[in-house]
């Protein structure tokens, strides 16, 4: 079978995160060229080197995705080095300030400093707007359609205890996904999201380590009895990036092990 992304160019933010790295390598195996961006240039460059080793064109840059000028420059550089952007995957987010539980397991929104709230919103909502906007503009200019994939969380659909800012930011990014899907459909740009459940990832491991027995409690909630691997999320991203999802837009995939059946 021919590679599903042959000849396409992808930009992925959050290269140091398990999800971003796994998607980049999966896309490369399916024929895509991949440009990587991350707050850490070293992290982005390491993944770019793996993409290049797979025989694909690659590039890397450091970016703060909450800063408009840096996001615009990132997209411009990706277009210049790859020759265009066909696929965008936004996977650069932050955990809320008290998410692991830590010293205050009863933390509430009413206790939250405005600075913490704004930090979470800037990376988990503003960054999705800035990155999606810049990439969509490039796709519209190129006039060859495109795919935008917003990597979110189960918190986009269900309020997470002691993580109100995280839940609100993820829910906002889900609404952003739907609005962009409506507005970009005339340009043949599809916009979808992924809302993973509990994962074996950098961010999630910090959460599990926040309290004794937390991972065991999580496993009891998941009908499949395990947490997911980032490679499994990469398969969902590949589906949304490929022509197999040609009639999907404004949708959210929920690979969560059956979490919401209960």
SS3 for the chain is CCCCCCCCEEEEECCCCHHHHHHHHHHHHCCCEEEEEECCHHHHHHHHHHHHHCCCCEEEEECCCCCHHHHHHHHHHHHHHHCCCCEEEECCCCCCCCCCCCCCCCCCHHHCCHHHHHHHHHHHHHHHHHHHHHHHHHHHHHCCCEEEEEECCHHHCCCCCCCHHHHHHHHHHHHHHHHHHHHHHHHCEEEEEECCCCECCHHHHHHHCCCCCHHHHHHHHCCCCCCECHHHHHHHHHHHHCHHHCCCCCCEECCCCCHHHC
Catalytic site residue 128? Answer: no
Task: Write down the catalytic residue from 99, 128, 166, 207.
Answer: 166
Question: Which residues have a catalytic role annotated?
Answer: 166
């Amino acid at each position: 079978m021919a590679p599903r992304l042959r000849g396409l160019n992808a930009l992925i933010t959050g290269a140091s995160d398990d999800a971003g790295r796994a998607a980049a390598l999966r896309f490369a195996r399916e024929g895509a060229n991949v440009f990587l961006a991350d707050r850490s240039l070293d992290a982005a460059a390491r993944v770019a080197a793996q993409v290049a080793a797979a025989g694909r064109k690659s590039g890397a840059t450091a970016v703060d995705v909450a800063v408009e000028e840096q996001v615009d420059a990132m997209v411009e550089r990706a277009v210049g080095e790859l020759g265009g952007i066909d696929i965008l995957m936004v996977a650069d987010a932050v955990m809320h300030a008290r998410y692991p539980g830590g010293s205050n397991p009863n933390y509430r929104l009413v206790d939250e400093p405005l600075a913490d709230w704004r930090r979470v919103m800037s990376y988990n909502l503003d960054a999705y707007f800035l990155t999606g906007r810049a990439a969509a503009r490039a796709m519209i200019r190129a006039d060859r359609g495109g795919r935008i994939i917003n990597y979110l969380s189960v918190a986009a659909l269900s309020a997470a205890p002691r993580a109100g800012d995280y839940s609100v930011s993820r829910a906002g990014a889900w609404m952003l996904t739907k609005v962009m899907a409506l507005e970009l459909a005339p340009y043949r740009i599809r916009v979808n999201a992924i809302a993973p459940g509990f994962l074996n990832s950098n961010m999630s491991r910090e959460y599990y380590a926040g309290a004794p027995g937390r991972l065991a409690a999580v496993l009891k909630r998941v009908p499949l009895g395990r947490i997911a691997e980032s490679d499994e999320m990469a398969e969902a991203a590949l589906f949304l990036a490929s022509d197999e999802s040609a009639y999907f837009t404004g949708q959210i995939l929920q690979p969560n092990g059956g979490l919401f059946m209960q």
